[in-house]
Structure 1
Amino acid sequence: MNQFVNISFPYNIRLTVKREDLLHPHISGNKFRKLKYNILQAKSEGKASLLTFGGAYSNHIAATAAAGREFGFETVGIIRGEELVDKIVDNPTLAFAAACGMRFKFVSREAYRQKTHIDFVAALREEFGDFYLVPEGGTNALAVKGCEEILSSGDEDFTHICCAVGTGGTISGLINSAMPHQQVLGFPALKGAGLREEIAIFAKNANWALVEDHHFGGYGKVTEELINFINDIFVKTGIPLDPVYTGKMFFGVIDRINKGMFPENSDILLIHTGGLQGIPGMNRELMRKKLPIIKM
């Protein structure tokens, strides 16, 4: 569903939001797109379980757990941070995944960095049996294929397509399906992540760029300015934004508009990639820090 943002912007610029967050109550946004063909592949291989990786508030962990419950897979989550082992009930994301039937293995940050190593994966197969492995964040060729379906008929008239960037799968799909006259802009949530090389593995076209100065200090980092901006957008439009991905992308787009960095009469489509499940956990951290909480 495309939702026009009824806010007056300079230079006769128009903003529209593609509400991918409304695709599914729990397998939301780009996670729905990324898992679609991986689920089909797992079924075709006769796999009974899915194993993947993520952090304490991972959208991908929550979505994979929900997909497993809905499509009949056992699920295993390899979680970064051994200290979380006895904090599942206090963590909304992990509590939800557990309620969906996901089993967890909590590992140190050092061990987590070995997640793609052949010996590490082999040890996981010894422990959990045969499984279909979904990468951290869900990005692989099948995920990109799913993300290529985000843009649909009727989206051809937009001049710019903007999205948040985590592992690079979503923007790669958008790059591949965008029209030649459209520019795809990605707003990384991570600081200095070396994403250009990752995106280039999957992206077939050259009509894209990364805008790397709106990460607010890095992955999961938020400021009072960002929170106030997110809440202001919600009050004005009714569109909820998460502070890790879509909030920063929205902020970056509007900042660039106000600085005259988009051509006059630009017609911009913003991709809402979901991630709202992480807001309750983030709000707990914000209350602990005596900062405003995020409205939704």
Structure 2
Amino acid sequence: MNVVEQIITFEGVSIKIKREDLLHPYVSGNKFRKLKYNLIEAKKLKRDTLITFGGAFSNHILATAAAGHENNFKTVGIIRGEELSEKIDQNPTLKKAAEFGMNFEFVTREEYRKKTTNEFLDNLTKRYNNFYLLPEGGTNSLAIKGCEEILNKDDLTFNHICCAVGTGGTISGIINSSSSNQKVWGFPALKGSFLTEDIRKFANKDNWELVEGFDFGGYGKVSEELIFFINDFYSKYKIPLDPVYTGKMMFGVFENIKKGFFKKEEKILVIHTGGLQGIDGMNIALKNKNYNLIQFND
């Protein structure tokens, strides 16, 4: 599989960006990697339905719907927020997932917090007998196996590898396939010290570190400064970033270059993990706040 790679320069530092976002229009970036071996396993087990979980603008929900459609699986999304059931047409992510044939179950936030309990899962089993369960965000051991394929032998020449962190699955796969003399930097998109422990469950090396301070207030939170950065980045480099993951990561990378943390003689690889589908939904929220919108105009 040939992945597009682009080289940009910022303040004299050369950065190669691996465009995983271009792997598939809807099963984008790390979602493509995470689903690959899970789909193989679901077929092996002769399951006919994929069931998973997510929020209103979840990349994972849309990716599962698209992948299920292409691979002849029925798909069910357990969606956090029962109020969304009457707003599907106003939600670009859920609307597109529905077009791919996904059926939804909208649950309260309280019910959603119970999604991993035996009671919740037993109830799913009673209603959907022959299904394959994918966790929220898609991270499991098979997802890690897929993410281990993000790096290739040519990437082992880089001193630093940077990626955004959500559930910790993608960075775990990257850590496992990196060389021990490389440093893997994760830029969390959300607050919470639990990420370190989650990564340690899957990562088999210690050559990594999380870079705190670039979550912009938490998961899905943005600022006018971040939106300006994303739009300015596109105007200069013609590479779109999303506001939840890759925008925050690249902002953090640039800030660390300004501080001299990354040196001009060092080689930096940045993983673009996708997530661009969420921009339409984010722009709705930005418009309601009278913020500037994310716009990729040539």
Q: TM-score, normalised by structure 2?
A: 0.97
What displacement does 1:264 show?
Answer: 4.2
Partners in 2 of 1:91 and 1:184 — Cα distance? 35
* Contact kept in structure 1, 2:14 and 2:264, CA below 8 Å: no
What displacement does 1:242 show?
Answer: 0.3
**Who is 1:99 aligned against?**
99
Give a deviation string over 1:200-230, Cα, whole Å, max 9, x none. 0100001000011100000000000000000
Alignment of structure 1 residues 38-117 onto 2, 5 Å: 38-117=38-117
**Who is 2:140 aligned against?**
140
- Over 3 Å off, 4+ runs: none
Give a deviation string over 1:73-98, Cα, whole Å, max 9, x none. 00000000011010001100000000
Alignment of structure 1 residues 1-296 onto 2, 5 Å: 1-5=4-8, 7-9=9-11, 12-296=12-296
Partners in 2 of 1:161 and 1:292 — Cα distance? 31
Partners in 1 of 2:25 and 2:86 — Cα distance? 27
Identity of aligned residues (%): 61
Partners in 2 of 1:246 and 1:216 — Cα distance? 13
What displacement does 1:8 show?
Answer: 3.6
Partners in 1 of 2:263 and 2:209 — Cα distance? 16
Paired amino acid for 1:216: F
Instruction: Give the secondary structure class of the aligned counterpart of 2:53.
Output: strand
What displacement does 1:131 show?
Answer: 0.7
Instruction: Give the secondary structure class of the aligned counterpart of 1:233.
Output: helix
> RMSD of the TM alignment (CA)?
0.9
Instruction: Give the secondary structure class of the aligned counterpart of 1:281.
Output: helix
* Contact kept in structure 1, 2:10 and 2:254, CA below 8 Å: no
* Contact kept in structure 2, 1:240 and 1:295, CA below 8 Å: no
Partners in 1 of 2:280 and 2:71 — Cα distance? 26
Bigger drift between 255-264 and 157-166 goes to 255-264
Q: TM-score, normalised by structure 1?
A: 0.97
Partners in 2 of 1:113 and 1:173 — Cα distance? 26
Instruction: Give the secondary structure class of the aligned counterpart of 2:101.
Output: coil
Instruction: Give the secondary structure class of the aligned counterpart of 1:60.
Output: helix
* Contact kept in structure 2, 1:27 and 1:63, CA below 8 Å: yes
Unaligned 5+ segments in structure 2 are: none
Unaligned 5+ segments in structure 1 are: none
